[in-house]
Amino acid sequence: MTDPESAVTDPESDSAGPGRGPAGPGGGPADRYTVISADCHAGADLLDYKPYLESEHHDDFDAWAATYVNPYEDLVADTADRNWNSARRLADLEADGIVAEVVFPNTIPPFFPSASLMAPAPSRAEYEQRWAGLRAHNRWLADFCEAAPGRRAGVAQILLNDPAEAAREVRRTKEAGLTGGILLPGAPPGSGVPELHSPAYDPLWAVCAELDVPVNHHGGSASPPLGDEPAARAVFMVETTWFSHRALWHLIFGGAFRRHPGLRLVLTEQGSGWIPGIMEMLDYYHGRLVASAARAATAESKFGAGLAGSMGASPSAVWRDNCYVGASFMRPHEFPLRDRIGLDKIMWGSDYPHDEGTAPYSREGLRIAYAGLPPAEIAAMTGGNAARVYGFDLAGLDRVAAVVGPTVEEIAEPLKEVPAGATSPAFAPGGSVRVW
């Protein structure tokens, strides 16, 4: 990334050491944290996508847009421009103590019935137009990131119907300057595309490993349709993170990391407290199935046949070497698990501009999660890890954080009262949240 340009006036400051500022927590600003949100969302206003479409799609776009009714209230509200108004967005994030962001999609790309994060895999008839819509978003996103150099890592969108075509888009978006990696769509049962453990996706994994492109799998993107009844909505809330977790064991047991050891997987907005238990479970099944395959034929031996050779290292070793978690706003019950998750794996996010995000109370969100922890650990989870995964220049961002970042003293102070206007689950009452 190029050196960050800030909407604030940078102080005169020299960096001390590669990629960090003067001596502070983790080497950053002396008394402030350099906060990078590893989970934000953006997209163009609907009609603004047209110039980014290939010309042969313009007439079809006009016809589609003329009758399209946006199903999301937040995308037609007077605050919707937070998704595409670069100056407003920088100001909002800086006011919230955040100096850079990883940008996932949010608005409706051309020819999609709903936000692409939730849209099902396209049919053969829809495929060409849907691809054109995602390429238009990726082109727009490259320009949006360029409007704030060094401050945004844009996550490109792909489809899974043709892994070779997806691999070509990875190369194109990397060359276009998108540094956030790709958004891996979900492949729930009935999606019409192979399950994620399939070797059919090897062309995609190969180019991501070659180009050091993170593969991001975002919460909410892998659930099958359940309907809109009250029970269905409740079941969705219970199951949606589980369906998003599935990408982890699909890629591990499918051997993607053995065949492509440079592949990196980031699981975003799925929490983090589940990881130690899941890794123990995966290690258990791995050991059990590999052992059963080495014994004389039994009812279970066929389940482990070939597994040791196809997947290589144990699941916990794959997690250690290849995986990260965009934990978004961590709950207090999660941070005691940080050593078991891996302190170098955890990235905080505000989920801006979503209602469930911590904005404009991200400082309070950081306090409710991290007060009392060692500053160097806080610095890693709130910025250092994201900088390493997504290639942010911390030295440049430190100069911005020296003006707008939350202070070490501020985050050390336990939160005594939840802000009245806070809507994020980070502040939800109950046993999972600690408020002093």
Q: What is the mean pLDDT of residues 333-347?
A: 95
Highest mean pLDDT among 8-12, 40-44, 232-236: 40-44
Q: Report d(CA 248, CA 241) in Å as an integer.
A: 12
Write phi, then psi, for 270 (nearest 5 degrees).
-130, 10
Write phi, then psi, for 32 (nearest 5 degrees).
-135, 160
Highest mean pLDDT among 33-37, 69-73, 427-431: 33-37
pLDDT beyond 80 at 6: no
Q: Mind spelling out the 3-state secondary structure of 317-378? A: HHHHHHEEEECCCCCCCCHHHHHHHCCCCEECCCCCCCCCCCCCCHHHHHHHHHCCCCHHHH
Q: What is the mean pLDDT of residues 123-132?
A: 92
What is the pLDDT confidence band of residue 84, given thresholds at 50, 70 and 90?
A: very high
pLDDT score of 302: 86
pLDDT score of 8: 54
Interval 352-391: pLDDT, tens: 999 999 999 999 999 999 999 999 999 999 999 999 999 9
Six-digit token string for 303:
């389940």
Q: Report d(CA 310, CA 307) in Å as an integer.
A: 5
pTM of the shown model: 0.92
CB-CB contact of 370 with 382 (8 Å):
yes
Q: Where do the domains of the chain lie, and which CATH numbers do they carry? A: 25-427 (3.20.20.140)
In whole numbers, what is the pLDDT of the chain averaged over residues? 91
Beta-sheet pairing, 98-105 with 323-326: unpaired
Give the ranges where 187-325 is alpha helix by DSSP (H).
202-211, 230-253, 256-259, 275-293, 301-304, 307-311, 315-322
pLDDT beyond 80 at 433: no
